[in-house]
Structures are given as C-alpha cells and as structure tokens.
Amino acid sequence: MRKGKQDHTPKPVGLKDLARYLGLSTATISTVLSGAPAAGEIPAATRERIMAAAEKFKYRPNALARSLRGMRSHTVGVLVPEISEYGALVLGAVGDYLLSKGYFFFVATHRRKPELLDEYPQLMRQRSVEGFIVIETVLEKPLPLPTVVISGHRSHPGVTNIVLNHDHAAHLALEHLVQLGHERIAFIKGHPYSPDAETRWNSIERAAESLGVAIREELVVQLESDTFSPYVGYPLVRRLLQRTRDFTALFAYHDLSAIGALRALRDCGLRVPEDVSVIGFDDINSAAFQIPSLTTVRQPLDKMGALAGEILLQRIQGGADPVEVTVDPELVVRESTAPARRRIEIPAKLETVVGT
C-alpha cells in the first residue's frame, strides 16, 4: 500500500512561537507589532528585538483573530476620484504606512459623482472600516467616521485636512521666473472641479501682486479635457499661441499640463527654455525625464500620504483631532527655465497637431 505524500510546507510562525523565542509575553509582542499607543512605554531595545524576530520568521498577525479579540477590523476606507499619477503617488504612500501598522484598506474611485460619494462610505462602513482617507476630493458633508482629507479644502466636524502651503508654492514659482527676468508670464489654471484649482489660483494672484507681476487675461487659459495624459495641456497652449505670442514664460497648473505645453511649444517651432520657460507643479515621476527636464514645484506627496495614515490611526485610537495640517512645497529647478529673452519670434505657420 502506497503511503501518502508528506507535506513538508513549514508551519507559519505564530504569536506564541515568537513569545517562546524572545522570552517575552504575547501581550508585549502584540502591543509592539500592532503599533498600539502603549508600545511607546516598552524599551526601544525590546521593540527592536521584537521587530527583528518578526522579520526573521516572517511573522504575520492573524487579522481575523485580532479583530475578533479586540472588536476591531484594522481596516481603513480610501476614497479617490481616479487613479491618476498624482493619486497613485499619494495612494502608494498611504498604503505603505497603513500596511506597516498592520492595517488593511479598501480603495474606491468615485469619478466625482455625488451619488457614489454618498454610497461608497456606507458600503465601506458595512465592511467595518474604522475611518476614511479621502484624496483630492471636496466633501460636501462630513463622513460618519474619523476622516483625513488630502487636498480637500473644506472644513467639517471630525475631518482633518492635509493641505499644501499654496501661498509659498506660488511665491517660489513666480519669484524664480521674476529673478530670471520674466515679466510677461502665461498661466494654465486648473479644472473647475479640482479642489486645488481655486486655492492655487488665489495664491498665484497674491504672489503676483507682491512680486509686481501683471496677470493679463489674454495670457490665462484653463484646463478643460478630463484626461490623465499630457495632452490635457497641448491644445490649450496651441490656442494660446494662435492668440498671442507675447510671453516668455508659462506656469502650468500641474506637471501633466506642463509636459503637454512642452510639446505644443516645440511643435510651434519654439525652444524651451531659450524662447519660453516652462514651470510645472507636483513633481511627478516623469518630470525629471522630459527633454528638457521640467522645473516644477514639488508637493511632498509621499509625506502627505504617510501623514494622512498616521493622523487617521491616531484619531482611531483616540488621539489628537487636528483641524488642518499644512505641509511645505519645494522648488525643483531643472532645464525648462532660463533667463528671459527680450523678444521671441514665433513662426506664423503652426506645425502638425499631435493626436489624442
């Protein structure tokens, strides 16, 4: 009679196994690995031993058992309009932080539809989420659990807003252009539905006034198409160049529109930055790899995402409830900006238009 094949798969290491190995109580180990507030009272050397052992044996806590013992799901709901490059960068940082603390998370894209913004939080709550992180979304009303919003700009009870210092961001960008001798500057404004659009434009107007920069109506265009491609800025700049050629710099709402502007300017026979300087906003991953590489205002998206996770977990555990947390931008100077020329020459005939 043939014997059955033996299973040589190693048995997963459990909490009791770690306790025996370390000579510590299961309660102490669980407190450290769960990131509970009481973990701060445990000596740093002990915490380091626990984390090293958990990594060595690839210990993973049993989420179901943990939730049943503590009546906690250790789950967070994340709401985002869509998975754009901006959203993906923030979401990645949120996810890394939550996972490091042993939390699971659901992600739902609402496409800015009011009915989905009403429905999704309820669906997530039915799945026992303990709080919400909301990215680049205007909330018309507070959500039923602790909430942290990144770039939402709307105050509600129980909602913590993480926002960029847009006044400083606008001043950094315009001061850079002014120092390079630019006086006639074109602008690409954000989509009307973007939470940052109005806030950023108001900051640009204040910075322009303080620096003595005139904002001319004929040099301002606004994003229209709902696409996550650099094409979003391409037709706008084409139309701008058909209307006027009297500017030496362009400040775009975000990097995608700035990248589209680079191509539009090139297709019109202009050189960047020799004829027109271009500056973007966000510092997405591809900004540094354009030709020329893009000068931009960097939003610390990774910091904002991790901060959202940290604040939410503190609030879930009964910690502080800040109304607003502001983070600072950074100007990243690359190849797309240079000293202004006195006058630029733009060929009257425009070249072939790039397709969508």
Mean pLDDT within 123-142: 92
Q: Which CATH class is domain 15-61?
A: mainly alpha
Amino acid 6: pLDDT: 52
Name beta bridge partners: 149: 134, 161
The strands making up 277-282's β-sheet, listed across from edge to edge, are: 220-222, 185-189, 249-251, 277-282, 295-298, 330-332
Q: Are 262 and 188 within 8 A, CB to CB? A: no
**Is 77's pLDDT higher than 90?**
yes
CA distance 25 to 287: 50
For the chain, what percent of residues have pLDDT higher than 70?
A: 88
Categorize the per-residue pLDDT at 178 as very low, low, confident or very high, splitting at 50, 70 and 90. Answer: very high
- Flag whether pLDDT at 35 surpasses 70: no
Any idea which of 62-66, 127-131, 181-185, 190-194 has the lowest mean pLDDT? 62-66
Tell me the average pLDDT of the chain: 88
In this prediction, residues 246-272 reach a mean pLDDT of 97
Q: Which residues contact 314 (CB under 8 A, 6 or more apart)?
A: 320
Q: How far is CA 96 from CA 4, 23, 143, 171, 309, in A?
A: 42, 30, 24, 32, 9
Q: Determine the average pLDDT of the residues in 40-62.
A: 83
Instruction: Name the residue with higher pLDDT: 41 or 38.
Output: 41
Q: Which residue has the tokens 């306790």?
A: 19
Q: Average pLDDT, stretch 115-126?
A: 92
Mean pLDDT calculated for residue range 273-282: 97
Q: What is the mean pLDDT of residues 267-290?
A: 96
**Tokens 């900006």 label which residue?**
337
The confidence band for 1, taking pLDDT boundaries of 50, 70 and 90, is very low
Domain residue spans in the chain? 15-61, 72-155+303-317, 166-300
Q: HEC string of 8-24?
A: CCCCCCCHHHHHHHHCC
- CATH domain 166-300 topology: Rossmann fold (3.40.50)
Which CATH fold topology does 72-155+303-317 show? Rossmann fold (3.40.50)
CATH fold match for the domains 72-155+303-317 and 166-300: yes
- Residue-level pLDDT at 57: 84
pLDDT value of residue 61:
64
Q: How far apart are CA 133 and CA 49, in angstroms?
A: 32
pLDDT of residue 34: 67
Task: Look at residue 351 in the predicted model and tell me its pLDDT.
Answer: 47
Enter the DSSP assignment of 304: H
pTM of structure: 0.77
pLDDT for 312: 96
